[in-house]
Structures are given as C-alpha cells and as structure tokens.
Structure 1
Amino acid sequence: MWAIGLDLAWSPRNPSAGVVLGWAEDHWEVAAWEAQLGPDAEILAFLEPYLDAPCVIGIDAPLIVPNETGSRPCDRILASRFGRHHAGGYPVNRRWLRSFGGLRGEALAQALYARGLALEPPEAPRLPVRVVLEVFPHPAAVVLFGLRQIIRYKRLRRDRWARGLRRWHQRLLTLEAFRPPVRWPEPWREPPRGGTRRMWKAWEDQLDAAFCAYIAGYVWFHGPAGYERIGDLETGLVIVPRRIDG
C-alpha cells in the first residue's frame, strides 16, 4: 500500500514536490521523494510505479473546479470553519486558475481517473483502494496538531521563513507518535544548513508533500471515522482529517 502526497505548483513554470510513503505492517515509511518535479508529464512519471498498486494520493491543489468565477462551496465552508485559525483558502475558480497557466489539478485528477483511480475517499479503513483526493494542509494541521493558528512559513522574509519552516519541520516529526505513525529517514531529521533560497523552497515543498502523503495515509488507515468530506464531486470535494487519539 502506498500513500503519496503532491504539493502541486499551480503554474507549470514552478517546481512541484512529491513524497511516497509505503505501509510496513504498522507504520508508514518514506519510500521516495522528489522536490523538483516539472511539467505534468514529469509528475505522472513520478507516480507511474505506484498507480497499478493499491494507493491513496493526496494532492494540495483544486481537483474539481466547475465554476468559472466566484468560489466553490467547499472553499466557502473551509473559510468559515477555519478562517479564525488563518487556515482558510483562496476563492477558487477557473478564470483565476487559468491566470497561472491552466487547471493543473483538474487535468492531473482526470489523468489519474482515466487510470482507474477514484476521486472519493475509502468507505472503510485499510481497504486495497486506488484513490486520489484533494487535501488542504493548513486545515489538516489545525485539526491533527490542535493548533489555534497555523504555523506561518510561507511568503515571509528569509529569517522569519527559516524560523517558520523549522517549527513546521519539528511539528511533522511528531507524527512518529501518531496513529498511524510515520518513521522519518535520517536525512529528514535535520533542516538544511545554509544553502540557497531555492534549496529552502525545495525543502518547504518537500515537507508539504510529506504532510499531504501522511493525510492520505491517515485517511486510508482510519477510514470514514478519520476524515470529513467538505463539498461533493459536482462542485468540489476537499478531505479534511478528523483527529483520532489512541
């Protein structure tokens, strides 16, 4: 069983990140990662080795966007529920996404649907499913980590960006004590030392992709008790985890 996360750049001009977790009897282990994925064909090539096996893919990008303008119902619900935590999203519509170069999430979801992956979460825990889900890391972090406000680490000055990323990294390391746990490899346990802005951005994207993968694996492990559906397949569907202790 594979749980895969994609931090999908809305513009194909920017790199995307992917992380693959493999199920190892009672925990997740990091099996593969790539922080510099380019065009859609490169992303699909990264996913290809896992698509015919049981897998659940969590993508941080809008996958169903029928509305030309305005916002989707699921986005309005998320803003209402999580806005006070600064975890509400942008109003998503087709016109706005075209300004970034196209509806990448929707195109990717359709390509995966054509390969036989469903666009809905599993109906029971730990089934051998093949599904792709839209996930949103900020609300998921609020729920799973019990945050009053999100950890800020995006679009900040270099010093504040680095501090925020280190806090986010430390929070992700605590997933080793969650149910199900994930075991991080040694190279992941320390933040980059020095390096360029591009290196730090790649690390940010890698961390976000890893959390998307964990959300997907969490949803697979717990089934309906461990997630909430926000929206529907007609107007847009976002899967938000529910915190289950013990």
Structure 2
Amino acid sequence: METERFIGIDLAWAHGGTRARPNETGVAAVDRSGVVLECGWTRGLEETMSWLARTAADGSALAFVDAPLVVDNPAGQRPCEREVGQRYGRWKVSANSTNQSSPRLAGVLLREGLEESGWVYDDGRGGPPTGGTVMSECYPYTTLVGAHELGYDQERPTYKRRPARVPTAQWRAVRAAECDRLIARMAGLATADPPLLLASHPVSRRLLDEPSPQQAADYKHREDLIDALLCAWTAALWSRHGPARCQVLGADSPAPPGRAPTIIAPARPEQRRGGE
C-alpha cells in the first residue's frame, strides 16, 4: 500500500512545567496530489498527538518532524547534526547541538508517545516506507537549500535569524519581505513533482493572500505553519523520489536498522558526501 498522506510537524521543542503555556506547533497534512488536507497549530504534546491520530486515521501516513526524535548521545552533537553543517554549510545552514543533557527534548517524548499508539520511527536507511503510520526527522533549512525547485542556490533565506549585515531597527521589515518571497517560491511548488498546492486550504491560502506581519508573535505564528508545510512537502519528496533526491544524514550510525538518529534531507549533487 502506497503512502497516501504526508504530514509535517514543526514541533515546539520545549515541554516546560505545568505553569508554562506550551509554544505553538505548526501542523500540516497533504495528499499525493499536493492538496492541503489539514493545517494549523497545536499546543503541547498531547494536543499534537491527538491531531496526528485524527489526521492519520486511515492508517497510511508519513510524518516528517522538525525536532530531534532519537537522541542517544550523552553529550556533544549528534552526527546527523554535524553532517548538516558539513554538507550544507556553504549555504549558511547548520544545526543546533542535541544530546541527552539538552533541556528541550519534546521530539523524543513525541516519538515515544506515538510509538505507544502504533506509529513506527524510521531512520530512512532502508529507503522510503511503503505504508503504515511512520515518522522520521527532517530539517526545513536543508529543504530550502537542497530542493532546486525553491531556487536558493547560494544561501538560505533570511526569514528567521537576523544577518549581521541587517541593522536591528530594519530587521522586522526585512524579515517580513523575505518571508513573502519564500512564500512566493513555495507557491511555485504547485507545478513540482510532487506538488504542493498552498491555495487548496483556507488557512494555507492566507499565506498567499496576506502580507507577512512584522509583529514578533504574529510572525512566529506564520513561520511555524510555513515550516510545517515544508516538512510535509519534504515527506512527499522522500516518498516519491527517495535517495535520488534526498540523503540520510547520520546514516553511518551503528544503531540497529530503523533506530539511528538521522535527518532526511533533500540534496543537490554537490551537497552529498564527496560532492563537488
């Protein structure tokens, strides 16, 4: 049975105490034709897992999560995170370090909770799954610079972190304009293989119809949804093209099959190991 539904989760990594209101998690689901079936936001792991249970109710879904799902290193940086910098550093893409002492491991808790409900973690080393409810880890920045369809041939878009060349007073306006350019490029995925049809759902369509806000909280709200949609499209790309378009960072892990801490990342030829 082929995977019918591709899900993106831009997970809030922190899972603070009972007094802290969880940050928003962006969520999105698309079908094989690129139609956005569901998208929006959740708060907290319980709400996110409930959303996943509803969205993957047909039993055939591949979820790509932007958060560390398997963390087996006591200290330092996971090899897959180190490889992000090695393969994509020229495009100004790197990854935060995660280990078992890290305070923000909501992804590990999400994986464990989903596994208890029947989901399967897959590290990608055996190629794309062909059915069931499966989750893997991804990183949207590698999609932005690794998928040629988006056109970021030289460096990542500056829709998140302020470059040193941009004065602080100008940053919010510059960031909003850059986000609008990113959304325009994502709209071009309507004719890609696989496609992504932003206009097919009222929530994602607002990305096209409304300019990006400058106020910090409103902007982060939009950014979380954008990253969730990028995760969902990356899952569809992996399912459709497998290793021909993507690489598995951390594939050399000695972990048992299916259990390695990996990141599945779209890749141009020059971003692969040994690439020029």
Same-fold status (TM-score > 0.5): yes
The reply to whether residue 175 of structure 1 matches residue 189 of structure 2 is yes
How do 1:147-226 and structure 2 match up within 5 A?
147-156=153-162, 157-185=171-199, 186-192=205-211, 196-226=215-245
TM-score using structure 2 length? 0.78
Pairs within 5 Å for 1:1-246 = 1-12=4-15, 13-23=22-32, 27-35=33-41, 37-52=42-57, 53-96=59-102, 98=103, 100=104, 103-120=105-122, 121=124, 127-145=130-148, 146-156=152-162, 157-185=171-199, 186-192=205-211, 196-232=215-251, 234=255, 236-242=261-267
- Give the TM-score of the pair, scaled to structure 1: 0.87
| Cα separation, partners in 2 of 1:73 and 1:189, compared to 1, 3 Å | same
Aligned partners of 1:78 and 1:88 also within 8 Å: yes
- Residue identity matched to 1:70: G
The structure with the larger Rg is 2
Is there any run of 5+ residues in structure 1 with no aligned partner, and where? none
Deviation, structure 1 residue 58: 0.5
CA shift for structure 1 position 57: 0.2
User: CA distance change for structure 1 residues 127 and 77 in 2, over 3 Å: closer, same or farther?
Assistant: same
| Amino acid in structure 1 at the alignment position of 2:11 | L
CA deviation after TM superposition for structure 1 residue 68, in Å: 2.2
**C-alpha separation in 2, matches of 1:32 and 1:80:** 35
Larger strand fraction of residues: 1
Give 3-state SS (helix, strand or coil) of 2:209's partner. Answer: coil
Structure 2 gaps of 5+ residues are 16-21, 163-170, 200-204, 270-276
- Mapped partners of 1:239, 1:8: distance in 2: 16
Q: Closer, same or farther in 2 for the Cα pair 1:197/1:78, shift >3 Å?
A: closer
Counterparts in 2 of 1:50 and 1:112: CA distance versus 1, 3 Å = same
- Kindly report the root-mean-square deviation, in angstroms, between the aligned alpha carbons of the 2 structures: 2.3
**Is the partner of 2:31 in helix, strand or coil?**
strand
Residue 226 to residue 202, structure 1, CA distance change in 2 (3 Å): same
Is this contact kept in 2: 1:6–1:18, CA < 8 A?
A: yes
| Bigger mean CA deviation after superposition, 193-202 or 7-16 | 193-202
Contact kept? 1:72, 1:236, Cα under 8 Å: yes
Question: One-letter code of the match for 1:20?
Answer: A
Distance 1:193 1:164, change over 3 A: closer
